[in-house]
Amino acid sequence: MPTSDVQDKAPDSSKEFKAPAYQLEAKREYLNFQKVEVTKIDKTKPWKPTLEVRVTKEDGTVVEGLDANSPFFTFYDKEGNPLNVSAAASGHIDSLHIKGEDVGSKFDEASLEDLFRDAAAKMPEGIATQPGTSAFDVDMGKSMGKEGICSMQELLTSGTISQADIDTAQKLKEIVRELNKSGKKEEKDAFIADFKTKNSDCKIQFQLVRGDVLVPIVDAPKQDTTRLFMVFGPDASGKQKTLYTAAPGRNMPRHPNPGQHTSKEGVLDEATFKESADAWFDTVMLTGK
Q: Read off the pLDDT of residues 46-87 as tens digits, 9 standing for 90 and up.
A: 778 899 999 999 999 999 999 999 999 999 999 999 999 999
d(CA 63, CA 261) in angstroms, rounded, equals 39
Average pLDDT value over all residues in the chain: 92
pLDDT given at position 6: 38
pLDDT given at position 8: 42
Q: For the segment 173-194, what is each residue's pLDDT rounded down to a tens digit?
A: 999 999 999 999 999 999 999 9
Nearest in space to 123 (alpha carbons), one of 132, 114, 110, 136: 136
Which residue type sits at 245? T
Whether residue 277 is predicted with pLDDT greater than 80 in this model: the reply is: yes
Question: What pLDDT band is residue 16 in, cutting at 50, 70 and 90?
Answer: low
Question: What pLDDT band is residue 11 in, cutting at 50, 70 and 90?
Answer: very low
Reported as type and span, the H/E element at residue 71 is: strand 71-77
3-state secondary structure of 139: strand
pLDDT given at position 263: 83
Question: What pLDDT band is residue 119 in, cutting at 50, 70 and 90?
Answer: very high
Query: What is the full DSSP assignment across 7-32?
Result: HHHS--TTS-----SEEEEE-GGGTT
- Residues whose CB falls within 8 Å of the CB of residue 10, separated by 6 or more in sequence, listed in order: none
Instruction: Label the pairing between strands 227-234 and 204-209.
Output: unpaired
pLDDT given at position 46: 74
pLDDT given at position 17: 55
R_g of the chain computed on alpha carbons = 23
Q: For the segment 198-248, what is each residue's pLDDT rounded down to a tens digit?
A: 999 999 999 999 889 999 999 999 999 999 999 999 998 888 999 999 999
Whether residue 7 is predicted with pLDDT greater than 60 in this model: the reply is: no
